[in-house]
Structure 1
Amino acid sequence: MTDKNEDQRRDWLPAKVRFELEMRGLSLRALSLEAGYSRDSLKAVLRTPCETYEQVIADALGMKPEDIWPSRWEIRSRKRKAA
């Protein structure tokens, strides 16, 4: 098991998320609208955890959300195991 600070250091920075989307010809705004959200909805996930928004971005990048935000998903995994 990794410690929380190590996972946070492995989380992608917001600039990397935007860069990876741009490299694929995508944007947070376009993904928000495509998913049926208001135009700036997905921007919130860069600073605030939201499983649904994280999944939209991960799907667009062809990844799993836990690979982009390991600290968020490790915490969720622990909570589910404790329940």
Structure 2
Amino acid sequence: MTLSHSPTFLPFQDWHPADIIAALRKKGTSLAAESRAAGLSSSTLANALTRPWAKGELLISKAIGVPAETIWPSRYFDPQTHAPVARLMRTRHPK
């Protein structure tokens, strides 16, 4: 799904969760399948639809083939200045 083909996307408007799910289905996958492929519980990746989670956003964006900042611009750009927002992804430290 590209921005030009996306339904009624205004600048800096996040994709609707149904559009994200539909894009995954068009690619022949689902949130549950991508969650399991990443070694997560089948419902974990759905968290990225409702709240910021950099790792989940990255997994979904890779599956769809669209940059995460295109899917969730409100999470990656300041709405006032339109400047990129620094986002950190937590990593696991080896025990």
Shorter-chain TM-score above 0.5: yes
Match of 2:20 in 1: 17
CA-atom RMSD in angstroms: 1.8
Query: Where does structure 1 lack aligned partners over 5 or more consecutive residues?
Result: 1-5
TM-score, with length taken from structure 2: 0.70
- 8 A contact 2:32–2:42 mirrored in 1: yes
1:77 is aligned with what amino acid?
P
Match of 2:35 in 1: 32
Which protein shows a greater Rg?
2
Cα displacement (A) at 1:24: 1.0
Task: With a CA cutoff of 8 Å and minimum separation of 6, indicate the structure with the bigger relative contact order.
Answer: 1
2: CA distance, partners of 1:21 / 1:78: 26
2: CA distance, partners of 1:62 / 1:16: 14
Q: Sequence identity, in percent? A: 37
Figure out how many residues of one structure are paired with residues of the other and give that number.
73
Decide whether aligned partners of structure 1 residues 56 and 79 sit closer, same or farther in structure 2, where only a CA change above 3 A counts: closer
- 8 A contact 2:31–2:43 mirrored in 1: yes
Match of 1:47 in 2: 50
1: CA distance, partners of 2:85 / 2:69: 13
